[in-house]
Amino acid sequence: MNQFLGNPSEQYESLYVHVPFCAGKCEYCAFYSKGESTGEERRAFRHRLDAELREAQPRLQNLHTLFIGGGTPSVLAEPELTDLLGSLHRHAAWRPGAELTMECNPESLDADKIAAMAKFGINRASVGIQSFSDRLRQVLGRGGNLDRLPDWLACLKDHGIDNLGADLIYGIPGQTLADWEQDLELAFDLGIRHLSTYELTWDEGSKLARRGHLEPVCPDLAVFMWRLTAEVGGPRGFVRYEVSNLARPGFECRHNQGVWHGAPYLGCGPAACSFDGRERWSNPADLQKWLRRKPAEPDELSAEARAAEILAFGMRTLEGWNCDQFKQRTGFDLWHLRGSQLAALAEQGLIAIGDETVRPTEEGFLFADYIAEQLL
Amino acid sequence: MQPSQYIRNFAIIAHIDHGKSTLADRLLLQTKTVDTRKFQDQLLDSMDLERERGITIKSHPVRMFHRDPDGTEYQLNLIDTPGHVDFSYEVSRSLAACEGALLIIDAAQGVQAQTMANVNLALRQNLAIIPVINKIDLPAADVGTCLEQLEEILTIPAEEAILASAKEDIGIAEILAAIIARIPPPEHNPQGETQALVFDSVYNPYRGVIAYLRVFNGSLQPGMQVRLMNNSKVSEVKECGYFTPSMIPGEKLQAGEVGYLITALKDPNEIMIGDTLTDNSRPCPRPLPGFKQIQPMVFSGIYPVDGRDYENLKFSISKLQLNDAAFTAQAENSVALGAGFRCGFLGLLHMEIIQERLSREYDMDVILTYPSVVYHVYLKSGEMLKIDNPIHLPDASGIDHIEEPIIAGRIITPTDYLGAVMNLVLERRGECTGTHNVDHRHVMIAATIPLHEIIVEFYDKLKTITRGYGSLDYEPAGYRADDMVRLEMLVNGEPVDAFSSIVHRSHAASRGRMIAERLKEVIPQQMFQIALQAAVGGKVVARENIRALRKNVTAKCYGGDITRKRKLLEKQKEGKKKMKNIGSVEIPQEAFVAVLKAKDS
Ligand SMILES: Nc1nc2c(ncn2[C@@H]2O[C@H](COP(=O)(O)OP(=O)(O)OP(=O)(O)O)[C@@H](O)[C@H]2O)c(=O)[nH]1
Ligand code: SF4
């Protein structure tokens, strides 16, 4: 029935590189990263990363996207960054017009690093801001300040990296609707084309969850903030194309769109996850274990369950699924696979079913987990 | 062999904690029935639970031999009995096996309600009563007041009282002397047809049913064919003997004696407390008086907290029933709670004991639904139904009226709290029928109160308003009509069976509100608003709403999150499959359990 699911000779469409270093650890962070690191650790990381890329080299020759995330890739010193980009250059190749993103923190950027990025071909930068308010940044345990932000954005643009995105966090204890509106306006005023907004979560493993001294904002306020995001962004030409992401049309993050729609991607670095079109696996979330080549953790699933999973996660996006596209991706017929569940969700007003498409409604975005649960 | 004028059969009656077991231990020591070296506190309370809670649940007979100062040896049979009102039938049977009773009064506490009840039981059996004022060693001992109470409320001459301290070994010899002097020896006819009273029984997995009995006429011996008068079962006597407190097999049980008997009968229900045992070849013409089939008075559903424990629960209940004929259980199914049992108990303490034994001895985690009494429901058709389960209460339109069981209670309290106690009685739909002075500081209130009101928190309330000094005892006093209704809890219009209850109309709204509020806290929000209603006969008397969920989404979801997130959602989905669906609301069983675990629901 499905010819596609599981074709390991396929070229990866995307490559993700996880840089597990930061300058200090934020309160809310549950990503795998080290708040402090030594030059030796960073050297060992690049060395092992080079090997990981080399091994996958044959399948990295027609990439559509690159995403260097973390952690904070921009904390690497310029020579380290140049070295890492060199590895990528040696082992991977992108098709013309590919999207090459690197996450940056305004606190750790500098002109040299930006030059190195540009030289390699990075054409999209995602800048972690989280909040413009010093008070709220403090609650987040987010060190540093945003003084140099305008300089670096200008510098990025000067180097031709003009596809800029920003990250903001809402639902911070003590944050008002007015605070959030201000953050949104300041972010849009930066001339960005993409905005990710995350509701603050008390992720297991974060300091926030461990300390347990702060309470999440009430769900009603969180929903108001979520709605406000699109209300402020709409007049500026921004469309919410995924639960937490807005972009000017044409500037959606292609890398993540691929991830949500079941595109095969390779993740390199500790804690990075991969998907070859059939199976998923995760590298150990521990620098030392990863350096020692501890095997990745597989996530095996039947073809049908995998197809359902791909269906479920695609429904986080405004685009949802086109029937042909889904069939092409998974080999399964959408209606065959989950027809009754889709009909029930449409009945509840959470998804809209068109001739060839299924996609979430605005209400559906707010119940994306429920939709996914029904479809899995 | 001792002629019966050298036998004395007696019980000890006392309010809880007045020192019954301690005194019994003293008597065992003094008569050298047990060795000081092997001495273990509260020898007669053999269940762990009995020892720990200091309550006697089963009867514990023991035979002692005592030489009086003249050198005459007497056989003293002591029957330790449960003193609690729940077990008053068992107590009455134990007392029926005796000619006398030691009445213990704590010198610091004085006469309590239970003392009164037990004295009345003993007087009804025409027992000789020996009052013992115990704990005179306590600094708070007030012997004068106790003596005043004896005369005032129990009409026992103060001169008869023996002052003692079971703990300090004071007055024990005097008590033994009084037992011999004041309690009459058993009267009987050794040549008559054999007649023995079963006053308790225990089940032993190896030996079958061990009946505790008192022989009134004739004798019993191994090999004899005996007949139970109530059900005409006949069986051979395998063994008989007496307790020291361990079982000592003997050749014979004679008229006047107390002991045990083992037959071939294996089913505890075949040997009922209060039944008469006789010689099958020469049966007595009629049974001993006083036999009653014990009827549970209080009913409640028992459910395993974890549905997978159902089979275990079934097994545990059947085990407990072997030793507790009064505990009944019938399989029933609840939409909210799954498979469980509708159980009957003698009263609240009995219910608590069963619950505790299930948890302690069988490691069962159970919940109990709101208790019910047995209602007499008179239908318009003229028919009368006995209803102990709200689910079975017929529709109001077919009911002419409902009668509920009433108790006649005695409450003894320090005079200071008289007003508060009378208010409590009124609040609980009771009626005070009289007051009597117990002494210059205490008063006894006689009241009739619906049994249902007694089993829901009355006792705790009484203790609170009297700072722990109030005591209550009661006996059934028939039935009385009142405005009883079924209160139903509805989730989106559908009743939750586990929360149905029969209550007085005037209490329906407040109880309904309380449960609705608790349910509100534990039922997870859904995609739609949930109405929680309490209704009587289709009329809503209380209401709470659970607001619809505003969102169900995690903001972040990138390449690294998919596996973890999928697994989380799968787990949630699995959990929901186990949920109960009531009014299309998915509710975890734990939610119901949490509400039931809170007192009063
Ligand atoms: N000071 C003092 N304490 C005593 C005396 N007799 C008993 N006690 C204490 O009173 C408490 C209750 O004694 P028990 O013998 O367990 O009372 P009980 O009447 O058997 O209790 P139930 O089995 O519940 O009826 C125990 O802590 C005893 O140690 C006494 O003469 N003096
Ligand atoms: S939130 Fe980002 S910058 Fe902060 S510790 Fe986590 S990975 Fe590093």
pLDDT in tens, B364-384: 888 888 899 999 999 999 999
Minimal Cβ distance to A16: which of B559, B562, B573:
B559
- Average pLDDT of A86-97? 95
- Closest C-alpha to ligand 2, atom 6: A29
pLDDT at res. B388? 92
Dihedral through CA A317, CA A323, CA A325, CA A329, nearest 10? Answer: 90
Give the pLDDT band of residue B144 (cuts 50, 70, 90): very high
pLDDT digits over B414-465, tens only?
Answer: 999 999 999 999 999 999 999 998 888 899 999 999 999 998 888 889 989 9
User: What's residue A348's pLDDT?
Assistant: 92
DSSP string, B23-73: HHHHHHHHTTSS-STT--SSTT--SHHHHHHT---S-EEEEEEEE-TTS-E
Q: How high is the mean pLDDT of chain A?
A: 92
Inter-chain residue contact B555 with A280, CB threshold 8 Å:
no
User: Which ligand is the nearest neighbour of the Cα of A27?
Assistant: 2
**B430 three-state secondary structure:** coil
Two tokens, residue A340: 């009754």
**Which residues in chain A have Cβ-Cβ distances shorter than 8 Å to B569?**
312, 369, 372-373, 376
Answer whether B555 touches A (CB < 8 Å). yes
Domain covering B301-368 in this structure, CATH number: 3.30.70.870
pLDDT interval class at B356 (50, 70, 90): confident
Least confident of A262-266, B242-246, B556-560: B556-560
Q: Is B553 on the interface with A (CB under 8 A)?
A: yes
**Residue A2 reports pLDDT greater than 50:** no
pLDDT value at residue B57: 61
Q: Do A369 and B560 touch (CB under 8 A)?
A: no
Query: Could you tell me the pLDDT band of residue A172, with boundaries at 50, 70 and 90?
Result: very high
Instruction: Looking at the CA of B141, name the nearest ligand.
Output: 1
All residues of chain A having their beta carbon less than 8 Å from the beta carbon of residue B549 are: 219, 367
Main-chain phi, psi angles of B437, to 5 degrees:
-75, 135
Task: Pick the residue from chain B with its C-alpha nearest to A299.
Answer: B563
| Residue B45 confidence (pLDDT) | 56
Output the six-digit token pair for A351.
């998804």
Q: Which of A252-266, B286-300, B420-434 shows the lowest mean pLDDT across its residues? A: B286-300
Q: What is the pLDDT of residue B54?
A: 54
pLDDT band at residue A176 using 50, 70 and 90 as cut-offs:
very high
Across A234-238, average pLDDT: 96
Cβ–Cβ of B562/A267 closer than 8 Å? Answer: no
> B160-197 pLDDT, tens per residue?
999 999 999 999 999 999 999 999 999 877 778 999 99
Superfamily of domain B4-182, CATH level 4: P-loop containing nucleotide triphosphate hydrolases (3.40.50.300)
Q: State residue B36's pLDDT score.
A: 65
d(CA B352, CA B347): 9
Among A373, A374, A262, CA closest to A307: A262
CA B496 to centroid of chain Cα atoms = 29
Residue B566 in contact with partner chain A when CB distance is under 8 A:
yes
Q: For residue B361, what pLDDT is reported?
A: 86
pLDDT at residue B55 above 70?
A: no
Measured between CA atoms, the residue of chain B closest to residue A305 is B566
Number of residues that this document lists for chain B: 601
pLDDT, residue B43, reads 57
Higher pLDDT, B385 or B244: B385
Average predicted confidence (pLDDT) for chain B: 89
CA–centroid distance, B165 to ligand 1, in Å, is 10
Predicted local confidence at residue B1, as pLDDT: 41
Check residue B459 and give its pLDDT: 86
Contact (Cβ atoms closer than 8 angstroms) between residue A72 and residue A105? yes
pLDDT band at B561 (very low <50, low <70, confident <90, very high): confident
Residues β-bridged to residue B414: B442
Ligand 2 binding residues, C-beta < 6 A:
A 22, 25-26, 29, 31, 33, 70-72
Q: What's the rounded Cα separation, in Å, for the pair A165 and B143?
A: 90
A24 CA from centroid of ligand 2 (Å): 8
Structural domain B375-482, CATH architecture: 2-Layer Sandwich (3.30)
**Residue B171: is the preceding peptide bond cis (ω within 30°)?**
no
Which residues in chain B are contacts of A275 at CB distance < 8 A? 559, 562
Q: Tens digit of pLDDT for each residue in B473-485?
A: 888 999 999 999 9
pLDDT of A127 > 60? The answer is yes
Q: Predicted confidence band at A322 (pLDDT cuts at 50, 70, 90)?
A: very high
Residue A70 Cα: closest atom of ligand 2: 7
Q: Return d(Cα A282, Cα B200) in angstroms, integer.
A: 69
Long-range contacts of B140-144 (CB under 8 A, 24+ apart): B140/B108, B141/B107, B141/B108, B142/B107, B142/B108, B142/B110, B143/B107
d(CA B399, CA B486): 12
pLDDT at A4: 41
A201:B562 CB<8 A:
no
Q: Do A273 and B560 touch (CB under 8 A)?
A: yes
- C-alpha–C-alpha distance, residues B69 and A34, integer Å: 91
Ligand 2 atom nearest to A22, measured from its CA: 8
Share of chain B above pLDDT 70, in %: 95
Model confidence band, residue A45 (pLDDT cutoffs 50, 70, 90): very high
Distance from CA of A150 to the nearest CA of B (A): 27
Residues of A in contact with B551 (CB under 8 A): 219, 222-223, 226, 366-367
pLDDT, tens digit, for every residue of A62-84?
Answer: 999 999 998 899 999 999 999 99
| Closest residue by Cα to residue B14 from B89, B90, B76, B91 | B91
Chain A hits for B550, CB-CB cut-off 8 Å, are 219-220, 222-223, 366
Give residue-wise pLDDT tens across range B234-289. Answer: 999 999 999 988 889 999 999 999 999 999 988 888 888 999 999 999 999 889 98
Looking at CATH, the fold of the domain delimited by B486-596 is given as Alpha-Beta Plaits (3.30.70)
B240/B88: higher pLDDT: B240
Looking at residue B96, what is its pLDDT?
A: 93
User: Which chain A residues are Cβ-neighbours of B572 within 8 angstroms?
Assistant: 373
H or E segment at B67? strand B60-67
The beta strands (E) that lie in A14-53 are given as 14-19
- pLDDT of B42 reads 54
Neighbours of A191 (CB within 10 A): 11
In one-letter notation, the amino acid at residue B95 is L
- Whether the model clears a pTM of 0.80, i.e. scores above it, the answer is no
What is the per-residue pLDDT for A5?
46
Check for a shared fold between B4-182 and B195-279: no
pLDDT > 90 fraction of chain B, expressed in percent and rounded: 53
pLDDT of B506-523, one tens digit each?
999 999 999 999 889 888
Q: What is the pLDDT of residues B386-396, one digit of tens each?
A: 999 999 999 88
Residue A177 is predicted with a pLDDT of 95
Report whether pLDDT(B349) > 90. Answer: no
pLDDT of res. B367? 87
Interface predicted TM-score (ipTM) of this complex, two decimals: 0.89
Q: Say if residue A221's pLDDT is above 50.
A: yes
**Nearest alpha-carbon partner for A190 in A217, A207, A221, A166:** A166
User: B21, B46, B55: which to mutate for ligand 1, most atoms within 8 A of CB?
Assistant: B21
A375 burial class (0-12, 13-18, 19+ CB within 10 angstroms)?
buried
Residue pointed to by tokens 């695609």: A314
Q: How far is Cα B370 from Cα B281, in angstroms, rounded to an integer? A: 50
pLDDT for B88: 83
Amino acid B44: pLDDT: 59
> Domain spanning B195-279 has what CATH number?
2.40.30.10
Residue ranges covered by each domain of chain B: 4-182, 195-279, 301-368, 375-482, 486-596
